[in-house]
Copies of this chain bind each other. A is one copy, B any other.
């Protein structure tokens, strides 16, 4: 009998108990040893939405780790501390650990995987990226015959919900954010999601798994969605483009390119139709070509399904591909190339288009299309460029920002992937 200790009885923790209460027969059919959830730990059980039944309750996580019967610790409290300490302590005490904690994995993954390895126990985290979507395990098993070349994903449900509603309802960012907060899709302080940091942590975790890369998350270029306005979404739509927040990793010439930012995608791109709180992750492998996985990126019971998959893998001693994480050279962001969408707010002076297109020309940036919208106070210029490096783009923008005829560089959004 394998006993499980659950730390956190909140959203995902309650989902774990819900599945335990409802699908126990199928779980037990697959598990090669019998098991039970022995103890659940939280400081406040009032938020638990599942029936805890005969499971012991504790308010001290150290009790669960001290319990010699417990072989698997499931950490579902989120955040950096005390979660990191819990996971490290559990592993050091030879407990297997299942977690959904992308922040801890992004910041301390290498160290924790080494502790797990040293103590001959497992640290699994299917639920850390893409909620319900099987992605970590396919990368570590079914896709092993591939050298992975790239990953592109919509990995944050909050921002995808906001961008979807802005696109479908032609609503403003601030209004949709408020609605998302009311519905529980966005936090009271939404910075981690809308600033792109949640996606950044997930990209770091995916890069560990797909490329064996010991990524410093600070090396990831991160731009959130706070500057994406309804105007951008409307102009993009007219050009057949849909704006999504993407997490992108590409491995080429022994360099890893890592970035999180909004992208204006062709409306027929499969990622352009991934809407609402759904997530989707594209994986490019040298054998499979590209495969895509999509589904609910969050939510109590969907995410808990992935937690149970990990628990069963520990019970069944399922073999995983575990590459030792190593430093991989990170591509200099200045060299990253992209097409761009620019929106400039203008003082409606004659000659502004000539000024701006002159600056683009002198920086060897060719323009795909340009259009001026509105008049007087509302005059805006929208330009889509051909492919250009980050460096050249920055130099041109610096010059444009100094023009008398330009009030503001309102938006800079990459086009296509």
Contact = CB atoms under 8 A, between A and B. Distances in A.
A273 B267 CA distance: 10
Interface in A295-341: 295-296, 299, 301-302, 304-306, 308-309, 312-313, 316-319, 321, 323
B286 A290 contact: no
6 contacts: A19-B145, A26-B145, A26-B146, A26-B147, A27-B145, A270-B273
Contacts of A15: 287
A268 to B, nearest CB: 6
A290 B293 CA distance: 11
B30 A321 contact: yes
Interface stretch (A97-105, A132-140, A152-160, A356-364): A132-140
Nearest to A295: B291
B147 A137 contact: no
Nearest to A268: B273
The residue among A15, A32, A134 with the most chain B CB atoms within 10 A of its own CB is A134
Interface string A4-26: 00000000000100010011001
A293 B291 contact: yes
A244 to B, nearest CB: 14
A144 interface: yes
Top 7 A-B residue pairs of the complex, sorted by shortest distance between their CB atoms: A291-B295, A145-B308, A287-B305, A134-B142, A132-B288, A316-B319, A142-B309
The residue among A30, A142, A323 with the most chain B CB atoms within 10 A of its own CB is A142
B142 A137 contact: yes
A400 to B, nearest CB: 36
A337 to B, nearest CB: 26
Contacts of A184: none
Interface residues on A, range: 35 or more
A144 B138 CA distance: 14
A262 interface: no
B144 A27 contact: yes
A196 interface: no
A285 interface: yes
Contacts of A147: 23, 26
A287 B300 CA distance: 9
A351 interface: no
Contacts of A146: 23, 26, 305
A141 interface: yes
Given A23-B287, A318-B319, A321-B29, A145 B295 contact: no
A75 interface: no
Given A305-B285, A319-B32, A137 B141 contact: yes
Nearest to A136: B142
Contact of A287 (B268, B272, B302, B323): B302
